[in-house]
Amino acid sequence: MLMRTDPFRELDRLTQQMLGSTGTWSRPAAVPMDAYREGDDYVIMMDLPGVSPDAIDIDVERNMLTVKAERRPVHKADDVQMELSERPLGVFSRQLMLADTLDTERITADCTAGVLTLRIPIAERAKPRKIAIGGGGDRRELSG
């Protein structure tokens, strides 16, 4: 149901992870995700820990789904001295090419415990259906 649009994206993600670099608006960091089919829905789960739901932007243009999010630094008092900072900050993004068999008009999104869950229904036209055969007095149905 999904097609990767950039074969080098995974290499970029691994490099960023090893170097600890943060994403910018011009070069966002990748968002780790899982995708699976559950009944008549396609489910995509993306890890966005520490990202406020109002800092997540989800767009669909034609069959291209884009998720962008920004994790901003927590404002600290002036007398705080940072000892260790390992949590990545910055901009995160993921683009997915969705198949024509998905209903992009009815996508739902939920963000709970730092996990963004998108549910995309499978389009009615893509679901299996019975086709009636007419002609004469003998009428049969075939699975299609």
Question: Which range has the top average pLDDT, 7-16, 25-34, 54-63, 132-141?
Answer: 54-63
Mean pLDDT of 48-65: 92
pLDDT digits (tens, 9 = 90+) for 87-136: 777 888 899 999 989 999 999 999 999 999 999 999 877 677 788 898 76
pLDDT above 60 (res 55) = yes
Q: What's phi and psi for 130, nearest 5 deg?
A: -85, 140
pLDDT above 70 (res 86) = yes
Question: Two tokens at 92?
Answer: 């995160």
Buried b (16+ CB within 10 A) or exposed e, 5-35: eeeeeeeeeeebeeeeebbeeeebbbbebee
pLDDT above 90 (res 4) = no
pTM for this entry: 0.68
What is the pLDDT, as a whole number, of residue 14? 61
- Strand 108-112 and strand 130-133: the pairing is unpaired
CA distance 117 to 45: 5
CA distance 35 to 117: 10
